[in-house]
Amino acid sequence: AQSVTQLGSHVSVSEGALVLLRCNYSSSVPPYLFWYVQYPNQGLQLLLKYTSAATLVKGINGFEAEFKKSETSFHLTKPSAHMSDAAEYFCAVSESFGNEKLTFGTGTRLTIIP
């Protein structure tokens, strides 16, 4: 069975500071991993995905994530936070091709301090 753990339900960073949102996964087969962002009263937007190609994945809005198999992690980072990054972020896992069900973490609310 697949599962995702997001450490820290709330993260606050100053504008211009590094953003680090943590995600650890559990999967019995090589996983596909995703980060989604949800702005208030909106749907989920894909930030980036890992599908067994390069371990460092670049996404939209300056975000990137690194797949570390030894640590079963897929942390999301951005070098410099912007006010518009304030949102809810979800990490999700899918157990590779053929099982398209996304299992989500509990989400991390990112607050940007001016």
Partner 1 sequence: DTAVSQTPKYLVTQMGNDKSIKCEQNLGHDTMYWYKQDSKKFLKIMFSYNNKELIINETVPNRFSPKSPDKAHLNLHINSLELGDSAVYFCASSQVRTGRIEAFFGQGTRLTVV
Residue 44 or 86 with smaller CB distance to partner 1: 44
Smaller CB distance to partner 1: residue 73 or 94? 94
User: Contact 22/33 with Cβ under 8 angstroms?
Assistant: no
3-class SS of residue 90: strand
Among 46, 54, 60, 113, binds partner 1 (CB under 8 A): 46
- Residue closest to 63 by CA, chosen among 51, 72, 75: 75
The size of the chain, in residues, is: 114
Q: CA 67, 33, 60: angle at the middle one, nearest 5?
A: 85
Of 34, 63, 67, 74, the one binding partner 1 (CB under 8 A) is 34
Please select the residue that binds partner 1; options are 5, 7, 22, 49, rule is CB under 8 A.
Answer: 49
Q: Of the ranges 11-19, 38-46, 59-67, 72-80, which one interacts with partner 1 (CB under 8 A)?
A: 38-46
Q: List the beta bridge partners of residue 32.
A: 94
Q: Which is nearer to partner 1, 55 or 99 (CB)?
A: 99
Q: Does 61 bind partner 1 (CB under 8 A)?
A: no
3-state secondary structure of 59: coil
Q: Which residues bind partner 1 (CB under 8 A)?
A: 32, 34, 36, 38, 41-46, 49, 51, 88, 90, 94, 97, 100-104, 106-107
